[in-house]
Chain A
């Protein structure tokens, strides 16, 4: 059985088609979910794609948070459903409070479109389970507001709870300081590139795995992330017991 993954289409989403295509490559039946609909179409997991939902007016992601589909996504998430937010989708999840923290304007003020390297902190989540090890992944970023922020106490709590999913790193996987402009160009605190909510079922990341799924694109490292999600969703859809942290 092919597992169905929903990709939300907000007005201003511009990575929805890429995400649908990339999910198809890794074996999912990917379906678009319109932002005005409250029906998740029986999806076993939901992806919030990159783009500029509702023009990113006011703050990136905040208006999308109040769209009808997000009420359903929030209910789905609170019931344990798998939700992945990529770039603008991460901003929407943060504004909705479904993942901790906030995304601030890039330290250097400029929109950044380039490749970065990220190292997974955890291999036991539904979003990273297909990764063979902690080797760095080469993924593109494309954002103006991607500097991860939470206050110091919250950062400590997030780290203690295993909430850091990815950190920006050097090409050979070495950790970098937050002010390393080459490896962590947006200025994310503690070089955090992606987080996972305490329940392990909602994750947000700034780099775009869907733009790195075929060798012709320069990297297919993103495929492992999307395959993780599809595998985890398929297990859940088939009723198999899934223990987050079992690996």
Chain B
């Protein structure tokens, strides 16, 4: 019997290229107060971390991809990237 593995992912959602990002603009506007130079094109997005139980990493990625495409990001206005943070074999398995 296969025991599911727990995969930890991060989904990074950012406004798509060409979409006005007023939050990024606002952050950029504050740079002058910091006295920092050479910073531009700030885009503010969102990071969502989650754990998925699956038999394989591919299965887990498919689940995360569906979640990201249907809920976490709106493909009309946002792009997303999925990042694997780690995998944890269940304790029961490890103890065997």
The answer to whether the Cβ of B92 comes within 8 Å of any Cβ in the partner chain is no
Interface size range on B against A = 10 to 19
Residues of the B chain whose Cβ atoms lie less than 8 Å from the Cβ of A151: 76
Q: Determine how close the nearest CB of chain A comes to the CB of B22; give it in whole angstroms.
A: 5
Check A105–B74 contact: CB distance below 8 A: no
Which of the residues A58, A59, A149 comes within 8 Å of B19, measured between beta carbons?
Answer: A149
Q: Which of A58, A66, A102, A104 contacts B20 (CB 8 A)?
A: A104
Interface of B is mostly: mixed
Q: Which of A104, A108, A109 has the most CB of B within 10 A?
A: A104
Interface residues of B in 58-87 (CB under 8 A from A): 71-72, 74, 76-77
Majority-rule SS of A interface residues: loop
* Interface residue total, chain A, C-beta cutoff 8 A: 18
A104-B19, A104-B20, A187-B20 known; A109 and B26 CB under 8 Å?
yes
Q: List 19 A-B contacts (CB under 8 A).
A: A58-B46, A58-B71, A58-B72, A59-B74, A62-B74, A66-B71, A95-B74, A102-B76, A102-B77, A104-B20, A105-B22, A105-B23, A106-B22, A107-B20, A109-B22, A147-B20, A149-B77, A150-B76, A151-B76
